[in-house]
């Protein structure tokens, strides 16, 4: 027998109650029955976003909401500022350039967090910038960017919106979109929301909706004005991902039961335990400034084949960690503590990691990581 553990930062495991809910017979989406579920989940998403604005639900992966935030607010020739400090930062650039939007970027080594001062400097030297685009949690580098501090800078500028990819931060960290001054916040279903991939969520501030009025980019499926109109009538412009929305209603019920404070705290404890375990085993973390509570990136020794390790953990031990992406391929291992993941999952992750690297030939002390993790977790069980 090989029991499987999905310990990658997306997709993440789906709770049994949620899978059972989604296995029920299909219902039609143009019915009062679906509308009731739909309006209920949209309402319950608001505290997770920290907003009173409309949260729109799109059928698509997280990238659909990222693309929507550009095509609905910018026009060809407009300039945006992107923090390019990982794979997903780079994605903002790729989307913008596909639509003729010009990009000024802050390039950082993978593992670094941007500072609000760096953003401010760029905005001063390039006053034409219409949007600042950043990941709250850059999953490829397991780094958190200080979005609250950045919002303080951007919100002072009438002609610039602040757009945050919250795909691995909403549901992991307390996020106060309205209070902090985030203008667009996007997330997806397969990370902290404990669902299969296929839903994207997006909310816009009043300031961002004004940008929608003047944006001249072509858009059809991702037209947010059309979606808002439909969704505020408790339906969608096109067929919604019915089963995922039904799964979401169960997820939000579970989240409500656990309480948002406990959810954020659970992520913090699992993240702390994983980081301390890695350090106790003699590893360095990829995150240099602010590590993300969604996943921990561990730097592997120079001559270690990280790709082979991740593959063998998956195929021989049933443990799915994530490796590095792009130029980090083979060089790091990422252990998730995101979504449907509790303290004992962290113990399994750490134990599997230390046995795995030992078997792969590294000279580590078995149990040192687990001991370090337990020292943190024991105060929370």
Ligand X SMILES: *Cc1c(COP(=O)(O)O)cnc(C)c1O
Annotation: binding site:
334
Q: Binding of ligand X at residue 139 (CB under 6 A)?
A: yes
Stretch that binds ligand X, among 97-105, 131-139, 276-284, 326-334 (CB under 6 A): 131-139
| Number of residues engaging ligand X in binding (CB under 6 A) | 14
Site for ligand X in 169-188 (CB under 6 A): 188
Residues in the chain, total:
381
Stretch that binds ligand X, among 56-64, 126-134, 175-183, 320-328 (CB under 6 A): 56-64
Q: How far is CA 15 from the centre of its chain?
A: 18
Shortest Cβ 138–ligand X spacing (Å): 6
Stretch that binds ligand X, among 28-36, 162-170, 214-222, 330-338 (CB under 6 A): 162-170
Shortest Cβ 143–ligand X spacing (Å): 10
- Minimum CB distance to ligand X smaller for 188 or for 356: 188
Binding site feature residues for substrate: 334
- Minimum CB distance to ligand X smaller for 310 or for 338: 338
φ, ψ for residue 114, nearest 5 deg: -75, 160
Report in angstroms the alpha-carbon separations of 312 from 305, 316, 364. Answer: 11, 5, 18
Coil vs helix vs strand at 41: helix
Q: Binding of ligand X at residue 268 (CB under 6 A)?
A: no
Site map 10..49 versus ligand X, x via CB under 6 A: x---------------------------------------
Residues 6 or more apart whose Cβ sits within 8 Å of residue 84 = 90, 92, 93, 105, 106, 107, 108
Shortest Cβ 327–ligand X spacing (Å): 18
Give me 29's structure tokens: 């989406």
Q: Binding of ligand X at residue 325 (CB under 6 A)?
A: no
Shortest Cβ 87–ligand X spacing (Å): 8
Please identify which residue in 35, 39, 40, 63 interacts with ligand X, judged by CB under 6 A: 63
Cβ atoms within 10 A of the Cβ of 20, count? 11
Distance separating alpha carbons of residues 48 and 257, to the nearest angstrom = 14
Cβ atoms within 10 A of the Cβ of 5, count? 18
Give me 66's structure tokens: 């990222």
Strand segments (E) across the chain: 5-6, 55-59, 79-84, 102-107, 129-135, 137-138, 143-144, 161-165, 184-188, 199-204, 284-285, 295-299, 319-320, 322-323, 332-336
Contacts to ligand X by CB under 6 A: 10, 61-63, 88, 135, 137, 139, 165, 167-168, 188, 191, 197
């Amino acid at each position: 027998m090989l029991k499987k553990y999905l310990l990658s930062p997306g997709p993440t495991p789906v709770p049994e109650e949620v899978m059972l809910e989604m296995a029920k017979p299909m219902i039609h989406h143009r019915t009062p029955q679906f509308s009731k579920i739909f309006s209920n989940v949209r309402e319950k998403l608001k505290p997770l976003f920290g907003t009173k604005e409309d949260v729109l639900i799109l059928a698509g992966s997280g990238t659909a909401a990222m693309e929507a935030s550009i095509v609905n607010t910018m026009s060809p020739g407009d300039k945006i500022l992107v923090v390019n400090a990982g794979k997903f930062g780079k994605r903002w650039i790729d989307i913008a350039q596909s639509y003729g939007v010009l990009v000024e970027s802050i390039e950082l080594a993978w593992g670094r967090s941007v500072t609000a001062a760096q953003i401010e400097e760029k905005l001063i030297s390039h006053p034409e910038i219409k949007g600042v685009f950043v990941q709250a949690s850059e999953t490829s580098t397991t780094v958190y960017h200080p979005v609250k501090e950045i919002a303080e800078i951007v919100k002072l500028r009438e002609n610039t919106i602040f757009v945050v990819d919250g795909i691995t931060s909403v549901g992991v960290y307390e996020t106060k979109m309205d209070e902090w001054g985030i203008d667009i916040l996007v997330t997806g279903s397969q990370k902290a929301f404990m669902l299969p991939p296929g839903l994207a969520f997006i909310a816009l501030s009043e300031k961002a909706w004004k940008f929608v009025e003047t944006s001249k980019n072509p858009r059809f499926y991702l037209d947010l004005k059309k979606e808002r109109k439909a969704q505020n009538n408790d339906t969608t412009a096109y067929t919604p991902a019915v089963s995922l929305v039904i799964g979401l209603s169960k997820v939000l019920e579970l989240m409500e039961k656990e309480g948002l404070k406990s959810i954020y705290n659970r992520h913090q404890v699992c993240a702390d335990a994983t980081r301390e375990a890695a350090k106790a085993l003699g590893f360095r973390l990829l995150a240099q400034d602010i590590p993300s509570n969604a996943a921990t990136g561990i730097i592997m020794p120079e001559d270690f084949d990280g790709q082979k390790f991740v593959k063998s953990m998956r195929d021989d031990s049933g443990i799915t960690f994530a490796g590095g992406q792009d130029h980090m391929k083979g060089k790091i291992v990422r252990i998730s503590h995101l979504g449907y993941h509790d303290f004992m999952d962290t113990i399994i992750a750490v134990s599997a990691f230390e046995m795995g690297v030992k078997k792969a030939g590294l000279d580590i002390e078995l149990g040192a990581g687990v001991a370090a993790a337990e020292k943190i977790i024991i105060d929370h069980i």
